């Protein structure tokens, strides 16, 4: 697959056909390597140099246009889950099934910075786009190196105020999930999906 005519890629970044023929960016920086699908703007692999892979991917993932990739780092936008009113579809919005455009790529020391772009014009006809018919420009900056940096910024390009939700829904690979502990959430409240969405308070780690 050839790169877009207006984007010059460094030698550390190649654009190829990935699973299902979907466009795939392979990034090789001195500090680490990664794979990014333009479909969904989705990071599906990141491995720091000399370390084990960090990102988890489902073996059941379908790499098809219009279908969300399972695992990796899905982008949730412009709503999370079914949205605040509980009626939005598809789950987590249309950004993760949209085809993002490669905006740029550059070497930055031991890291490589890739920028993707998505606008309201890119999502016309996608499921759910009619539920959030606003003008926008989203930019996703992915920094691949010894650390993985992910930054999603959204700009309102229309005349009316809009409300949206966004999340980078990261799946991490672990050797034994029974040994995993998340600190810093003691006392936090959350909606427990396993209990029908009941709001509960976290006690302890």
Residues with Cβ within 8 Å of residue 166, at least 6 apart in sequence? 75, 76, 77, 78, 80, 152, 154
Whether the pLDDT of residue 3 is over 70: the answer is no
Q: Which two tokens stand for residue 20?
A: 């299902």
Q: pLDDT value at position 158?
A: 96
pLDDT-based confidence at residue 197 (cuts at 50, 70, 90):
confident
What mean pLDDT, rounded, does the chain reach? 94
pTM of the model: 0.90
pLDDT-based confidence at residue 5 (cuts at 50, 70, 90):
low
Question: How many other C-beta atoms lie within 10 A of the C-beta of residue 148?
Answer: 20
Whether the pLDDT of residue 96 is over 60: the answer is yes
Q: Which two tokens stand for residue 62?
A: 């379908």
Q: Which residue has the higher pLDDT, 43 or 182?
A: 43
Residues with Cβ within 8 Å of residue 79, at least 6 apart in sequence? 88, 92, 93, 132, 164, 165
H or E element that contains 137: strand 136-144
The model's pLDDT over 56-95, given as tens digits with 9 standing for 90+, comes to 999 999 899 999 999 999 999 999 999 988 899 999 999 9
Angle at 199 between CA 196 and CA 205, to 5 degrees: 110
């Amino acid at each position: 697959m050839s790169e877009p005519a207006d984007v010059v890629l460094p030698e550390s970044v190649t654009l190829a056909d990935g699973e299902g023929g979907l466009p795939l960016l392979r990034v090789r920086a001195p500090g680490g390597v990664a794979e990014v699908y333009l479909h969904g703007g989705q990071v599906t692999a990141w491995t720091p140099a000399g370390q084990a892979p960090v990102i988890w991917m489902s073996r059941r993932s379908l790499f098809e246009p219009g279908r969300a990739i399972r695992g990796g780092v899905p982008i949730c936008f412009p709503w999370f889950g079914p949205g605040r009113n509980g009626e939005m579809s598809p789950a987590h919005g249309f950004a993760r099934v949209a085809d993002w455009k490669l905006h740029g790529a550059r070497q930055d020391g031991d890291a490589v910075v890739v920028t993707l772009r998505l606008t309201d014009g890119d999502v016309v006809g996608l499921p759910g786009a009619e539920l959030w018919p606003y003008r926008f420009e989203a930019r996703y900056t992915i920094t691949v190196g010894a650390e993985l940096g992910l930054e999603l910024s959204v700009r309102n390009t229309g005349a009316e105020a809009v409300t949206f939700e966004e999340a980078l829904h990261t799946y991490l690979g672990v050797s034994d999930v029974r040994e995993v502990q998340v600190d810093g959430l003691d006392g936090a409240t959350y909606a427990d999906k396993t209990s029908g969405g009941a709001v509960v308070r976290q006690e302890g780690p």
